[in-house]
Structure 1
């Protein structure tokens, strides 16, 4: 019978902790974005966008469930409680995603920036040493590809339209930019994620690839490039959040809190 050494046990523990942190980042990003998308139901500019955002919201929440289920396999509680039963300081979503939707331009710009980032992150994870994650992102990438096409079209259309549409898009970019850098953080787990081969590259490369894809969209939209995004004051990957997340959770978990023992 093989007995694990202390160093082997520590390595296994470190691997699990790093993987858990990443899965929470993935799941919480998708859940928060899905909830924000759902808030446009009945409020989008036209019926086509009502339908589109409803579908996108369903996709995002479905992706979050996949990641929460992987966490459950690693010993965390069930997906309902992971989604609805955790306090704000235990969430790992990027802060920019928890902000209220604002106007249509703000929503489109944020979604476009996030979808580019998410595409890069998922592409990286398709080669992850953690096989269930590498396999699972294959289907998710296909769905996210269409989200990105949709948001890029809106981003370039509004940016280049002139008049109020362009002014609103410029304002949206200006308001979003101070917190966009928070997307690229891998929190305290980055060095271990790289060490264990869970993700092939870190925050700096995520950001470089993101800029490489986003800058041409700015040119197409005839919008000025604001410069490389800086790290924000709050890092959501470390559980640092704003009162906006508290309010979002109050709304999102209202039904769950009526009977936490029920299956939703």
Structure 2
């Protein structure tokens, strides 16, 4: 697509925008929208990096493929959001992914948490997928047409992620005594990081109709969680919440290790292509 053609394209929520398309658009997001896109892009990027660890380590071959595909979907979401955010600051998706320092990332603590065993990873996926589905379902109505278009593509993929995690929650909770024990433990380790997903930071007030107020997603999220846990004969864990702060650049102790692995090649060979 030429730059002239891209700039003339009318973006609607039905468009499946690629990062290459976004990079050619004439419009730039406001600083608030760019910061918001950075939130969503960083969540997806760090989660993808975590999920990639499971390739060749999942409990069965089908899960190697499934988790790899989910990770690739998340990388796609990250590329789109980071490409759009970068347009506000004349940066590329690679600049934002590979050449920011830890305090400049805006991912929530949940996606930074260790994989643990398979049940803990599934617990994290369960929370993230249900949250992202609620978020992207609402974001397709954004007054920012590029955010709406990205969300329209992402929500279709996250619908699969949601179904995948739900099926594993049920399978593990209703399987053996050991699988149920691990599923309960996984949920307990995950639950302290749920609250941060729904915190309304000041940036939300600047977005207007372009973004989604996180706190408004809590009620439908909780209802969806309750329905699945009832079916699995589980209870939501009663555990203290984490302090959070990832949206403000205050991260868990895990993020530094993740981005060191993520960025090592780009920093070692700046400007290289492959």
TM-score by length of 2: 0.85
Residue 191 of structure 1 deviates from its aligned partner by: 1.5
Residue 162 of structure 1 deviates from its aligned partner by: 3.8
Residue 232 of structure 1 pairs with residue 242 of structure 2 = yes
Give yes or no for contact 1:22–1:186 (8 Å, CA) kept in 2: no
Residue 223 of structure 1 pairs with residue 234 of structure 2 = yes
Range with greater deviation from structure 2 (68-77 or 140-149)? 68-77
Aligned to 1:54: 68
Residue 211 of structure 1 pairs with residue 231 of structure 2 = no
5+ residue gaps, structure 2, are 1-28
Residue 39 of structure 1 pairs with residue 53 of structure 2 = yes
Give yes or no for contact 2:41–2:78 (8 Å, CA) kept in 1: yes
Residue 250 of structure 1 pairs with residue 263 of structure 2 = no
Distance 2:42 2:202 in 1: 16
1:197 partner SS: helix
Aligned to 2:269: 259
Distance 1:101 1:256 in 2: 24
Distance 1:41 1:59 in 2: 15
1:225 partner SS: coil
Residue 75 of structure 1 pairs with residue 86 of structure 2 = no
Aligned to 1:156: 170
Residue 21 of structure 1 pairs with residue 35 of structure 2 = yes
Residue 198 of structure 1 pairs with residue 210 of structure 2 = yes
Aligned to 1:141: 155
CA root-mean-square deviation: 1.6
Distance 1:249 1:61 in 2: 14
Distance 1:94 1:70 in 2: 20
Distance 2:104 2:249 in 1: 5
Give yes or no for contact 1:105–1:172 (8 Å, CA) kept in 2: yes
Distance 2:193 2:215 in 1: 16
Alignment of 1:60-209 (within 5 A): 60-193=74-207, 196-199=208-211, 201-209=212-220
1:91 to 1:30, Cα distance in 2 relative to 1, 3 A: same
Residue 76 of structure 1 deviates from its aligned partner by: 4.0
Distance 1:66 1:152 in 2: 26
